A and B are shown apart, each in its own frame.
Chain A
Amino acid sequence: MSLKSLTRDWEPMSYGFLDASAKRELRRKMLKAVAVPGCQMPYASREVPMARGWGTGGLQVSLTLINPNTCVKVIDQGADDSVNAASIRSFLARVSGAPTTLDTLEADLIQSRHRIPEEVLREDQVLVLQVPNPEPLRSVQPNMSIARQMHADADYGRMWLQLYEQIVRSGRIMQGASYPSMVNGRHVMTPSPIPRWDVPKLNMAKHLTILSAGREKRIFAVPPYTRVEPLVFDDVPYKVEEHANLTCYRSGVRGFFMNEIPQDDGSSTHEISDSEYGVKAIRSTEGDDIALGKTWYENGEMSS
């Protein structure tokens, strides 16, 4: 046996781009995040060959979890073919050799910006959400060190007050996406800017969700079977976007989160935001042998 047979040849880049110490840091902080659901864990977020704010946090998690057998799906705004999703997917495949897919049912690892797919995720799947701003208290407290203390004290009074003020001023809670949600009855988190439509999908979900903000260097998680409850008042129920009765003009599916497409005549038409679900629905109608998974929403209603 020679020394050469025990060592590997020099390579310009580690497997999966990140070096071993960066991956170890990510793994440790992911474990901490899983151990304290919804609590933001600071981590040494490394630079990656993509600009900050473009999914570098999600990318570091994916690069750490990936192996040559991981089937990866990447979406942005629900679409697999959005330009940045295409860029991240090709980078992941390039540095890891992992196979990629567009089909939610085939994926082991799903990295997403702003959406959770419409088909129910399983226990063996991991969802990685890209997070621009990890701090739900940012709008009431921009200073991160003070906000951190407020989380430690579970001091969410100002958050509640802000929601209450919106009801007083506008007659309803005006929070669009990134609706503040209580995780495991202890930490308020921002579920990343997913629409309100998607937040109930996290509650007691079978899959693990890891939320990672690369620029802000914070990681947090929703482990499987964990309570995620949007902050609501007893007498003002949580309202998802009114998309239950919209129909996708391309695929004909109904009762899912839609993209609004303005038309020349001043009206709007709609297409399903989960692009691959739409494609599968079309192919299925055309007679292809396509598996459509069970969806979180049925007939526009969240099924429990």
Chain B
Amino acid sequence: MAYVATRGGERAIEQSERLFRAEMGTITPERICEIKASMPYLVDRVMGEASLYDEDIAALALAQTGGELYEAVLVLRAWRTTQPRLSVAEPIEQETLFTHRRLSAAFKDIPGGQLLGPTLDYSHRLLATQVLTGEAFEPVPVEPAAKAAPAHQPSVSAWQAANDLVDLPDADTTLSEDIPDITREPLLFPSKRAHTLQSLARAETGGVLALGYAAMRGYGQSHPTVNELRLAEAEIVVTHPKGTKFSAGRVKVSQAEVLSKKGEKLELGFAATLGWNEVKVIAAATLDLNSAGAPKGSATEEEFFLYHTEGVESSGFCIHFKLPHYVTFQSSLDAMRDAKARSKQQKEPAQ
């Protein structure tokens, strides 16, 4: 197989793409529906990292890339960036979230209550191998509580602020049109708060986990307590050109607030993302918590973790090393051979 064949490159790349796509076969609307229905958490993860909320388009990206997650996110980001921005939605307050799951590790019970919601946390992780031998896996039906939990819950940190345990950040009064947008501006440091939170929201889950875990294990200054974790749906309220405010629908969101307990007051770290992805928001909030005053070049320094958890950039750069580098290699070889010849010359005894 020619890598840099004379005049063969175009045919080679076309055929290699065909070979990849042949494996996946025909992509039908049914396949998209099946992915959407059977893998909501995968769809959520991809939507979060792409920062594009559309289950159909995310499922299509997964189908088209055969589940190669970095490729799926890239294809979504490249599509997203060409789309016009029609409107900026109203800010969302925690109290207005339609909450499915919400818990706090800081207190046994909290105003509004601990709300387990859907989770595998307490499941026994056993494979349903009977499916492989022809017996379907039927989930046991849910038995709803007699009284449904309230859909809207207060925030735990509001209670802590009322009790003078934590200083909440001042409300950001930036008009929605003026919020700095990481997809339209370069990231510079020290970074704008909006850029930090946006970058974490679209960061690659595995990358955030790796660096967040390093901070949790001890390479950070603060051990996180999960003050509040929420999986919810947020109402997207936009303004019609006529001035009417209306809901354009709901999107799934995750958010985590973690605490450090070092000084006289609690300190907060925060992260949120589109879709339900608990690992990502807890790890990201831990990084946020640890970033203040972190030494330059440490894993918890903002510049370090924001650059290195950007999945499209990091994965792209990683795979680019497959590209031919023989010119730069030749240039280094030339210097190396010359240096070797010089040192050999020097080592030979003087005549």
Q: Are the chains A and B members of one assembly?
A: yes
From the candidates A14, A17, A25, A176, name the one contacting B332 in the complex (CB within 8 A): A176
- Find residues 60-103 in chain B having any chain A CB closer than 8 Å to their own CB: 74-75, 77-78, 80-82, 84
Distance of A19 Cα from B339 Cα, bound (Å)? 50
B117 to chain A, nearest CB (A): 33
User: Does B319 lie within 8 Å of A86, measured CB to CB?
Assistant: no
User: Does B12 lie within 8 Å of A83, measured CB to CB?
Assistant: yes
- Find residues 277-335 in chain B having any chain A CB closer than 8 Å to their own CB: 296-297, 303, 307, 312-313, 315-320, 323-335
B211 to chain A, nearest CB (A): 16
Please name all residues of chain A whose beta carbon is closer than 8 Å to the beta carbon of B84 when the two chains form the complex: 19
**Interface-facing stretch out of B29-37, B163-171, B180-188:** B180-188
Contact with A along B175-206 (1 / 0, CB 8 A): 00000000111111110000000000000000
Residue of A nearest to B302 (CB): A145
User: Does A174 lie within 8 Å of B319, measured CB to CB?
Assistant: no
Known: A44-B185, A77-B4, A145-B303. A52 touches B328 (CB 8 A): no
Distance of A48 Cα from B333 Cα, bound (Å)? 34
Known: A144-B189, A171-B339. A114 touches B303 (CB 8 A): no
Distance of A22 Cα from B186 Cα, bound (Å)? 12
Please name all residues of chain B whose beta carbon is closer than 8 Å to the beta carbon of A245 when the two chains form the complex: none
User: Does A22 lie within 8 Å of B81, measured CB to CB?
Assistant: yes
- Find residues 6-21 in chain A having any chain B CB closer than 8 Å to their own CB: 13-14, 17-19, 21
Say whether A242 faces chain B, with CB atoms less than 8 Å apart.
yes
Please name all residues of chain B whose beta carbon is closer than 8 Å to the beta carbon of A47 when the two chains form the complex: 74, 77-78, 80-81, 312
Please name all residues of chain A whose beta carbon is closer than 8 Å to the beta carbon of B324 when the two chains form the complex: 76-77, 82
User: Does B323 lie within 8 Å of A84, measured CB to CB?
Assistant: yes
Please name all residues of chain B whose beta carbon is closer than 8 Å to the beta carbon of A241 when the two chains form the complex: 330-331, 334
Please name all residues of chain B whose beta carbon is closer than 8 Å to the beta carbon of A76 when the two chains form the complex: 323-324
From the candidates B316, B327, B334, name the one contacting A78 in the complex (CB within 8 A): B327
From the candidates B8, B323, B330, name the one contacting A195 in the complex (CB within 8 A): B330
User: Does B188 lie within 8 Å of A51, measured CB to CB?
Assistant: no
Distance of A287 Cα from B189 Cα, bound (Å)? 59
Say whether B244 faces chain A, with CB atoms less than 8 Å apart.
no
B94 to chain A, nearest CB (A): 30
Known: A47-B77, A47-B81. A172 touches B339 (CB 8 A): yes
Known: A172-B335, A195-B327. A86 touches B9 (CB 8 A): yes
Distance of A83 Cα from B14 Cα, bound (Å)? 10
Residue of A nearest to B346 (CB): A171
Say whether A49 faces chain B, with CB atoms less than 8 Å apart.
yes
Say whether A54 faces chain B, with CB atoms less than 8 Å apart.
yes
Please name all residues of chain B whose beta carbon is closer than 8 Å to the beta carbon of A223 when the two chains form the complex: none
Please name all residues of chain A whose beta carbon is closer than 8 Å to the beta carbon of B7 when the two chains form the complex: 81
Say whether B120 faces chain A, with CB atoms less than 8 Å apart.
no
Report which residue of A52, A77, A145, A178 has the largest number of chain B beta carbons within 10 angstroms of its beta carbon. A52
B83 to chain A, nearest CB (A): 8
Distance of A78 Cα from B185 Cα, bound (Å)? 33
Please name all residues of chain B whose beta carbon is closer than 8 Å to the beta carbon of A131 when the two chains form the complex: none
Please name all residues of chain B whose beta carbon is closer than 8 Å to the beta carbon of A68 when the two chains form the complex: none
Residue of B nearest to A194 (CB): B327
From the candidates A82, A143, A174, name the one contacting B4 in the complex (CB within 8 A): A82
User: Does A114 lie within 8 Å of B327, measured CB to CB?
Assistant: yes
Chief secondary structure at chain A's binding surface: loop
User: Does A53 lie within 8 Å of B320, measured CB to CB?
Assistant: yes
User: Does A42 lie within 8 Å of B188, measured CB to CB?
Assistant: yes
Distance of A145 Cα from B297 Cα, bound (Å)? 11
- Find residues 69-88 in chain A having any chain B CB closer than 8 Å to their own CB: 76-79, 81-87
- Find residues 1-40 in chain B having any chain A CB closer than 8 Å to their own CB: 3-10, 12-13
For chain B, the count of residues having a C-beta within 8 Å of the partner chain is 57
Say whether A104 faces chain B, with CB atoms less than 8 Å apart.
no
Say whether B56 faces chain A, with CB atoms less than 8 Å apart.
no
User: Does B3 lie within 8 Å of A83, measured CB to CB?
Assistant: yes
Please name all residues of chain A whose beta carbon is closer than 8 Å to the beta carbon of B319 when the two chains form the complex: 51, 53
User: Does B5 lie within 8 Å of A87, measured CB to CB?
Assistant: no
Known: A14-B82, A53-B319. A176 touches B331 (CB 8 A): yes
User: Does A90 lie within 8 Å of B316, measured CB to CB?
Assistant: no
Please name all residues of chain B whose beta carbon is closer than 8 Å to the beta carbon of A257 when the two chains form the complex: 327
Distance of A14 Cα from B84 Cα, bound (Å)? 11
Contact with B along A182-224 (1 / 0, CB 8 A): 0000000000011111000000000000000001010000000
Say whether B119 faces chain A, with CB atoms less than 8 Å apart.
no
Residue of B nearest to A86 (CB): B9
User: Does A13 lie within 8 Å of B82, measured CB to CB?
Assistant: yes
Known: A14-B82, A171-B339. A132 touches B317 (CB 8 A): yes
Distance of A172 Cα from B335 Cα, bound (Å)? 8
Please name all residues of chain B whose beta carbon is closer than 8 Å to the beta carbon of A280 when the two chains form the complex: none
Please name all residues of chain A whose beta carbon is closer than 8 Å to the beta carbon of B82 when the two chains form the complex: 13-14, 17-19, 22
B3 to chain A, nearest CB (A): 7
User: Does A145 lie within 8 Å of B326, measured CB to CB?
Assistant: no
User: Does B316 lie within 8 Å of A54, measured CB to CB?
Assistant: yes
Say whether B109 faces chain A, with CB atoms less than 8 Å apart.
no
User: Does B320 lie within 8 Å of A132, measured CB to CB?
Assistant: yes
From the candidates A25, A54, A174, name the one contacting B335 in the complex (CB within 8 A): A174
Contact with A along B222-245 (1 / 0, CB 8 A): 000000000000000000000000
User: Does B81 lie within 8 Å of A87, measured CB to CB?
Assistant: no
Please name all residues of chain A whose beta carbon is closer than 8 Å to the beta carbon of B325 when the two chains form the complex: 77, 114
- Sample of 13 A–B contacts (CB below 8 Å): A22-B81, A42-B188, A54-B320, A79-B4, A81-B10, A113-B323, A145-B190, A171-B343, A175-B335, A195-B327, A195-B328, A195-B331, A196-B331
Top 10 closest pairs, chain A to chain B, by CB: A52-B316, A53-B320, A176-B332, A51-B316, A176-B331, A42-B186, A86-B9, A53-B317, A177-B328, A47-B77
B residues lining the A interface (CB < 8 Å): 3-10, 12-13, 74-75, 77-78, 80-82, 84, 183-190, 296-297, 303, 307, 312-313, 315-320, 323-336, 338-339, 342-343, 346
Beyond A172-B338, A241-B330, 7 additional pairs, beta carbon < 8 A: A46-B81, A51-B315, A54-B320, A77-B325, A81-B7, A177-B328, A241-B334
